[in-house]
Amino acid sequence: MIASSRERYQTVTVLDEALMWAVALLLSISLVMVYSASIAYAEADAATQSQSFYLVRHSIFMVVALAAGFVAFQIPSSFWQKYAGKFFLLALVLLVLVLIPGIGRVVNGSRRWINLFVVNLQPSEVMKLAAIIYVSDYTVRKAHKLHSFWQGFVPMFGVMVVVAGLLLLEPDFGALMVVMVISMAILFLAGINIRIFAGMAVAAVLAVASMIVLSPYRLKRVTGFMDPWDDPYGKGYQLSHSLIAFGRGEWFGVGLGASVEKLFYLPEAHTDFIMAVIAEEFGFVGICVVIGLYAWIVVRAFQIGMTAKKQERYYPSLVAQGVGIWLGIQTFFNIGVNMGMLPTKGLTLPLMSFGGSAMLMNTIALAVLLRVDYENRRVIRGYKA
């Protein structure tokens, strides 16, 4: 406490090394696998013209994302809490903007991208982080009212209905699922009345079910994943090829670069279905390693959250756990889709899939997590957070 600020900075380990290594490993795997999965596709496509097209872009995204992460790490968690509402509002504005024709770009029938000339921004990715920041802040602010239906639950519910409505207009059902899971889990962790939570869960399930039934395009996606072999050249095309990739991988995989599915059979091999390529090239062992790394990140996020909680730093605690929930649930959704356990949603695999917005927001979220950890360490040593 008597040391100079520079000395103090040095006495606290800046980063959680174990977490950093896991992230670094995943990002390295991502570089290799995005390249492997896209090489043939990029070379054959007249628009990209180079086999390293996606690798170069992905590397640039990653550098930018790491720079953004570095900046985010400098921001104390208190700042996020202070500006949680404004940040959430910004995400909402982006979600509205993307719906405006001329601003939002339509790809595959969904209006999900805002064209920023150099890159495309995906507002739903921003909303995922914003939901963590905002719902955590909301629960901390209203901690004493969380047992109340009208005062604790309904305001949050209203906000979520707006978000859900905007996401459905794109439509981006996958992002909606992620945002809902994040929000409900944080409310649950923050101690919302268990009966309200149960009611909410039932309502959410009903809402999801009704949306699926009412929207034929979603119903088609749902039925397609149940039995891809029923129509393997039509509705079940993508999934059947993904499953074949898993089957070909066996225990140890066919080897790096040797995937056949990525050779124009499996669509979206370098984005949503990158796990299928990993499964084919590295087998069950590769799957275990990747899932293990994600599990480790999730566990670390919760450990960091629990440490912050012990320090009665509840907001950082919830944010840390929120980041863990986000990465965990999106990883589950994506890999589940790849393996035919869930209907196709258009969700990327965090830290792994090709895609700038997702990479950027994932890295920022991890920077926030690392910041909470850094603050924990400082507090343990008796410094200010």
Smallest distance from another protein to CB 122, Å: 24
Q: Which of 104, 283, 346, 355 binds another protein (CB under 8 A)?
A: 283
The burial class, CB within 10 Å (0-12 / 13-18 / 19+), for 331 is buried
Q: Which of 92, 318, 365, 367 binds another protein (CB under 8 A)?
A: 318
Interface with another protein includes 372 (CB under 8 A)? no
Of the pair 70, 264, the CB lying nearest another protein is at 264
Q: Give 44-51's long-range contacts (Cβ < 8 A, gap of 24+).
A: 44/264
Interface with another protein includes 207 (CB under 8 A)? no
Q: CB within 8 A of 287, min separation 6: which ones? A: 249, 275, 278, 279
Both tokens assigned to 59? 């590397």
Interface with another protein includes 6 (CB under 8 A)? no
Interface with another protein includes 47 (CB under 8 A)? no
Of the pair 62, 192, the CB lying nearest another protein is at 192
Q: Is the dihedral of CA 109, 27, 115, 130 positive or negative?
A: positive
Of the pair 83, 265, the CB lying nearest another protein is at 265
Interface with another protein includes 83 (CB under 8 A)? no
Both tokens assigned to 123? 């507002």
Interface with another protein includes 204 (CB under 8 A)? no
370 phi/psi in degrees, rounded to 5: -65, -35
263 phi/psi in degrees, rounded to 5: -85, 65
- Judged by CB under 8 A, the stretch of 104-112, 162-170, 245-253, 363-371 that binds another protein is 245-253
Interface with another protein includes 138 (CB under 8 A)? no
Q: Which of 74, 144, 150, 214 binds another protein (CB under 8 A)?
A: 144
- Judged by CB under 8 A, the stretch of 116-124, 153-161, 263-271, 344-352 that binds another protein is 263-271
**DSSP bridge pairs for 82:** none
Strands (E), 250-318: none
The helix or strand, by DSSP H or E, that contains position 356, with its residue range, turns out to be helix 356-380
**How far apart are the C-alpha atoms of 227 and 246, rounded to whole Å?**
16
Interface with another protein includes 238 (CB under 8 A)? no
Q: Is the dihedral of CA 140, 351, 12, 299 positive or negative?
A: positive
**How far apart are the C-alpha atoms of 272 and 110, rounded to whole Å?**
15
Binding region for another protein (CB under 8 A): 1-2, 5, 40, 44, 78, 81, 140, 143-144, 185, 188-191, 229, 232-233, 240-241, 243-244, 246-251, 260-261, 263-265, 279, 283-284, 287-288, 291, 294-295, 298-299, 302, 305-306, 309, 312-315, 317-318, 321, 324-325, 328-329, 331-332, 335-336, 339, 341, 384-385
